Chains A and B, each alone.
Chain A
Amino acid sequence: MKKIIFITLLLSLYGCCTPIPVERHFPSVPVELKTPCPDLKKIEPTTKLSDVVDTVIDNYSLYHECSIKFKAWIDWYDQQKTIFESVK
């Protein structure tokens, strides 16, 4: 009797596992966009303006790199959304 109850319960639970005939995968993201933006560089103790400017150039580049990645993320989202919504 216990076995019958167990099997019945098991079958009832299996009913919850509605088979989904359509599989959809979340779109992947380019590796470059997965790298977080680094912290800005700090200036080593110095009195030379050239050292300061050197670090400033590095930091501007870091900003531009981060900006490119951020724009790419927006672009990626917009295009993937359009593709996602095209499936009906």
Chain B
Amino acid sequence: MWFLLHLIPDNFLHLIVHGITVIGIVGFAISIFAKKIPFISSYGVMLGLISLLILVLGVYLEGGYGVEMMWRNKAADLQKQIAIAEEKSKTVNAVIETQVVKELQTVHDVQVKWKEKLVTITEKIDAQCTVDPDAIDLLNKAAMNPLDYTEEAK
């Protein structure tokens, strides 16, 4: 049930652990002077044993608490780093996206430019050359994705 510690707030956990340790110390201190205190003089040994057990438990929990806090701090630090990294990642994406859009637009603009140029020389090149249907067929086959080839295409 150690994982349930994650559900307990830091301050409350701190209070419980220190409380147990303090009870153990105080109880043990009282047990030392128990003989001089009326009413509890006969329970000194028992109080001492119980206090010692509580003190051992308190020390054990102090150790566990320290480790728990260490992991919580590490997790919090990691979460902060991740938040920064995610922000950087978004910025990088925005930069790449802008760049890609800009470059695609340039490609499109150049394509338009070449097509306009083609219009001006269409008559000239068509008058000088006739394309054989076999050439068209070959070009179309070459333009196909080789992974999509069928026996028919070959």
B contacts with A: majority SS: helix
Tell me if A57 and B139 are in contact (CB < 8 A): no
A13 at the binding interface (Cβ < 8 Å): no
The tally of CB-CB contacts under 8 A between chains A and B is 121
Q: From A22, A29, A48, A57, give the contact of B126 (CB < 8 A).
A: A48
B16 within 8 A of A: no
B108 to chain A, nearest CB (A): 7
**Which residues of A sit under 8 angstroms from B92, Cβ to Cβ?**
76, 79-80, 83
Q: Is the CB of B75 within 8 A of A49?
A: no
Chain A residues with Cβ under 8 A from B111's Cβ? 57-58, 60-61
Question: B89, B118, B135: which contacts A50 (Cβ < 8 A)?
Answer: B118
In the complex, whether B26 has a CB less than 8 A from a CB of chain A is no
B 21-41 binary contact with A (CB < 8 Å = 1; else 0): 000000000000000000000
Residues 131-146 of B, flagged 1 when their CB comes within 8 A of A and 0 if not, give 1110110011001110
Q: Knowing A47-B131, A64-B107, A65-B107 touch, does A28 contact B93 (C-beta < 8 A)?
A: yes
Chain A interface category by residue count:
35 or more
B143 and A41 contact, CB distance less than 8 A: yes
Q: A68 near B: Cβ within 8 Å?
A: yes
- Contact across chains for B115 and A46 when beta carbons are under 8 A apart: no
By a beta-carbon cutoff of 8 Å, the part of chain A in contact with chain B is 15, 18-19, 21-25, 27-33, 39-43, 45-54, 57-61, 64-65, 68-69, 72, 75-76, 79-80, 83-84, 86-88
Q: A28-B89, A42-B144, A83-B92 are in contact. List 16 more A-B contacts (CB 8 A).
A: A22-B75, A29-B93, A30-B97, A32-B100, A42-B140, A43-B140, A45-B136, A50-B125, A52-B131, A53-B118, A54-B115, A68-B100, A72-B99, A76-B93, A84-B85, A86-B85
